[in-house]
Structure 1
Amino acid sequence: MSAISLYAKPSPEFAQKLAHSLALIKTAATEYSPLTQASSLGCEDMVITHLMHEAGLDNASASIFVLDTGMLHLETVALIGRIEERYPFKVDVYHPDADAASAFVEENGSQAMYKSLALRKQCCHIRKMEPLERALAGKKGWLTGLRREQSAARAEVHDIEQQPERAKINPLVEWTQGDIWHYIALNEIPYNPLHDQFFPSIGCAPCTRAVTLGEDFRSGRWWWENESAKECGLHVAADGTHEAQEPAAFEPLSSIIPIREIQA
């Protein structure tokens, strides 16, 4: 059963949400230039890329970047080529510093993220946060796929959030999961086939698993941590809002099975 057949059920206000999102993206391209999209290549970000195209944007008015952590699923990385085939964008790919990533693995092991929250966050910093700084350098605005429905930590997200150096624009804050998949179905937008295998939120392979009925959207991310810990730092406020605290205990390593082996 596909994610489309399961989830493509638009909300009654879908048309108004779509119009607002398109208007917001057009405004952002004018008021926050140079503008970029931070794409995780998940379903929300594939929707934003399509909305950018529908809004008349191309590489002259906005860019798209992906943080290739070196630990992404092959299905995720394959979407970069599909974006470039369909849309008038060249995707900029940012990688972690190779020496820093190798040194971290050599010192802490390939499964360091399971040992403590501090090590997991250090891994995220090397593979995501530092490349993100490079990707956003010189940009006045960045588009993300955050939605209020995704988690309690994101329930207060606004469509425009002014940060010290740039604006963070979230065109999908009010969209439901049903809205996302309805729009994907309407426009035959390419998406990660892992979504059809019950992966609603897809990050690095060792830190992502499928979810079961009744679990929330992000329960498959860093599932061995407590609920407050489930952010990598990309969407944590500078003042530490939603910054997770060290959980009292982690599951024993024997009970943690990465989705698949990934070489650092």
Structure 2
Amino acid sequence: MATELSEALVSRLGDEAAIAGIADRFWALNPQRLLRIAIEDLFPGKLALVSSFGADSAVLLHMIAEIDRSLPVLFLDTGVLFPETLAYRDKLIERLGLTHVVTLVPDEATLESEDPETFLWSSHPDRCCEIRKVIPLARALDGFDAWISGRKRFQASTRAALPLFETEDNRTKINPLANWSPTQILNYLRAHDLPRHELVAKGYPSIGCIPCTSKVRPGEDPRAGRWRGRAKVECGLHTQSLPRVAEFGAEAASFQSPLNRAQ
């Protein structure tokens, strides 16, 4: 079945209607099986996992490690992350034996020009996210045909209809855990004795940058603590089509894609 589905999906990449139809057949597969097909059959050598090393990240990272520990894992270090997140990243890399984690950082010249005091998040949060997250990831994904996201439907009302596959700029985005529940996440973490992010126990079920992350109250969506008090609910990675490197001009000229780096 894997070969049949893989060839069908590959032959229709970029056609959202066709991918949506095929996705209906993939829903029957567990995430591990879907990931193996994506890694080995659909996008060999052209697939990356984008991980925040946040609250639930250990689940997908463990699944990936069970299949291919050398799969590129892209991590966005915005420069304003919690120290606990950086420590968690290092802990999971060692625990899971991940060999190709690439840390992406914002362009220094742009930060010096637009956010020298690290306060852009307060006045222009969308631009802050663009500089620190959207642009670095868009550059890093150049050369990849697909990437894996850890988003889940239960995280927020804005994600309630999250599909299994999405397309953007002729690139496919895969959401293997889209339909998983909080109970399934917790059960997987326990079954594999995976460590949790330290901030989860302190009331942070969704963890981003320090200035834009607050504790979540009982009954709120897991992402209610992100950009609290603002209309903003997403950083931009999933609400706009990530452009190609050429669109960033000089800001991206010196960037080297993870595909071209030594393993």
TM-score (norm 1): 0.76
**Cross-structure match for 1:77:** 86
1:114: Cα distance to partner?
2.5
**Cross-structure match for 1:42:** 54
Moved >6 Å (runs of 4+): none
Corresponding residue SS for 2:162: coil
CA contact (8 A) 1:147 1:172 kept: yes
Deviations 1:62-94 (A, max 9, x none): 211100000000000112221221223231101
Percentage of identical aligned residues: 34
CA contact (8 A) 1:66 1:92 kept: yes
**Cross-structure match for 1:112:** 120
**Cross-structure match for 2:172:** 167
Q: How many residues align?
A: 213
Cα RMSD, aligned residues only? 1.8
**Cross-structure match for 1:68:** 77
Deviations 1:143-199 (A, max 9, x none): 111111111211121112122232101110111112111111111112210001010
1:223: Cα distance to partner?
0.2
Distance 1:187 1:19 in 2: 20
Aligned to 2:69, which of 33, 55, 58? 58
Corresponding residue SS for 2:184: helix
Distance 1:167 1:197 in 2: 35
Aligned to 1:217, which of 208, 215, 222? 222
1:21 matched to 2:31? The reply is yes
CA contact (8 A) 2:55 2:207 kept: no
Distance 1:176 1:18 in 2: 16
Structure 2 portions without partners, runs of 5+ = 1-26, 243-263
Aligned to 2:200, which of 187, 195, 200? 195
Letter in 2 for 1:126: I
**Cross-structure match for 1:5:** none
1:32 matched to 2:43? The reply is yes
Change (3 A) 1:164 1:112: closer
CA contact (8 A) 2:153 2:162 kept: yes
CA contact (8 A) 1:94 1:131 kept: yes
CA contact (8 A) 2:120 2:127 kept: no
